[in-house]
């Protein structure tokens, strides 16, 4: 069953057009990778799905409901959560408070503080620390946990690997199956193709605001991907 569908999504920043009619479909339980170089429009796309940017035209349907132009605070209540680029933890909140505020929308579901601490045991012992006192990898875990606390049906992850050592990135990606086991669909956005393609069922490649390629990781050749990625 289709969980998310966008049609002809166009987004502007002032006079600058960032997205030129993106069409995408994500089914329940799927893991999707969105890849593309810096400035391809990946973050813009996620931010418009999450309700932080209002599209100029086009349509976003989530779980059969039109959420185009819905403000971010209501989008999350309908089951779509974003782990923002750069983690964006709240510095005046402790780790546990950061996680708790993730559940502000009061959506029912399987996630609780205990579950989050089970997946990310590091966080439990640091739960009284301010979120910003943690290592980069641990901060990313808080950011993911915080998004999960809203019990999303679709989890959007923007550049999980940004600024993290490869071993830490691997560690974080290793927790993905536990999240998927709850039936949550996941979108990972990365500049780094390798990690994202390994976990994804399907992928979309963005280039200058267009979908330049879509398919299944195993079925597309390396050259095809790099052509779609770099536009050569």
Partner 1 sequence: MVDWINTVLQGLLLGGLYALFATGLSLSFGIMRLVNIAHGDMIVLAAYLAYAVVTHFGINPFVALLLIVPAMAAWGYVLQRVVLSRSLTGSILTPLMVTLGLSIITQNVLVSVFSADSRAIPAGGVETAAVPLGGGVTLGLYPLIVMATAIGVIVGLQLLLGRTELGRAFRATSDDQETAQLMGIDNRLLYGLAMAIAMGIVGLAGVYLGIRANFDPSAGPSHLIYAFEAVVIGGLGSLWGTLAGGMILGVSQSIGFRLDPGWGILASHLAFLAVLVLKPNGLFPRTRDR
Pick the closest to residue 156 from 56, 45, 69 (CA basis): 45
Task: Return the SS3 of 190.
Answer: strand
Task: Return the SS3 of 65.
Answer: strand
For partner 1, the binding residue among 36, 55, 84, 209 (CB under 8 A) is: 84
Q: What is the closest distance, in whole angstroms, from the C-beta atom of residue 77 to partner 1 in the complex?
A: 5
Stretch binding partner 1 (CB under 8 A), from 8-16, 18-26, 46-54, 175-183: 46-54
Question: Given the complex with partner 1, which of 77 and 180 has the nearer CB atom?
Answer: 77
Sign of CA dihedral 231, 11, 21, 48: positive
Question: Given the complex with partner 1, which of 132 and 224 has the nearer CB atom?
Answer: 132
Nearby residues of 222 by Cβ (< 8 Å), 6 or more positions away: none
Q: Which residues pair with 83 in a beta bridge?
A: 157
Stretch binding partner 1 (CB under 8 A), from 25-33, 93-101, 175-183, 218-226: 93-101
Phi-psi region of 125 (alpha: psi -120 to 50; beta: other; left: phi over 0): alpha
81 is a site residue for partner 1 (CB under 8 A): yes
What part of residues 120-159 is at the interface with partner 1 (CB under 8 A)?
146-147, 150
113 is a site residue for partner 1 (CB under 8 A): no
Q: What is the closest distance, in whole angstroms, from the C-beta atom of residue 99 to partner 1 in the complex?
A: 11
CA distance linking residue 176 with residue 138, whole number of Å:
15
Residue spans of alpha helices (H) in the chain: 42-50, 72-77, 95-102, 113-119, 121-125, 136-148, 166-173, 176-180, 193-199, 222-230
Question: Given the complex with partner 1, which of 152 and 228 has the nearer CB atom?
Answer: 152
For partner 1, the binding residue among 91, 110, 194, 231 (CB under 8 A) is: 91
Enumerate binding residues for partner 1 (CB under 8 A).
50-52, 71-74, 76-77, 81-82, 84, 88, 90-93, 97, 100-102, 104-106, 146-147, 150
């Amino acid at each position: 069953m289709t969980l998310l569908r966008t049609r002809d999504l166009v987004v502007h920043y002032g006079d600058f057009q960032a997205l030129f009619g993106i069409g995408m479909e994500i089914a329940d339980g799927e893991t999707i990778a969105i890849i593309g170089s810096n400035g391809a429009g990946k973050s813009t796309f996620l931010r418009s799905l999450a309700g932080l940017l209002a599209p100029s035209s086009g349509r976003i349907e989530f779980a059969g409901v039109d959420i185009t132009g819905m403000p971010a605070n209501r989008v999350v209540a309908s089951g779509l959560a974003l782990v923002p680029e750069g983690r964006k933890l709240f510095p005046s909140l402790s780790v546990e408070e950061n996680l708790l505020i993730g559940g502000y929308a009061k959506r029912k579901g399987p996630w609780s503080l205990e579950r989050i601490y089970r997946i990310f045991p590091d966080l439990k012992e640091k739960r009284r620390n301010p979120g910003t006192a943690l290592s980069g990898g641990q901060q990313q875990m808080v950011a993911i946990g915080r998004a999960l606390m809203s019990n999303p049906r679709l989890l959007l992850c923007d550049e999980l690997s940004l600024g993290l050592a490869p071993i830490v990135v691997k560690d974080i990606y290793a927790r993905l199956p536990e999240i998927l086991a709850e039936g949550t669909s996941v979108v990972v956005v990365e500049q780094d193709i390798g990690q994202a393609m390994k976990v994804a069922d399907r992928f979309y490649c963005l280039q200058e605001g267009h979908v330049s390629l879509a398919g299944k990781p195993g079925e597309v050749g390396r050259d095809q991907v790099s052509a779609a990625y770099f536009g050569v």
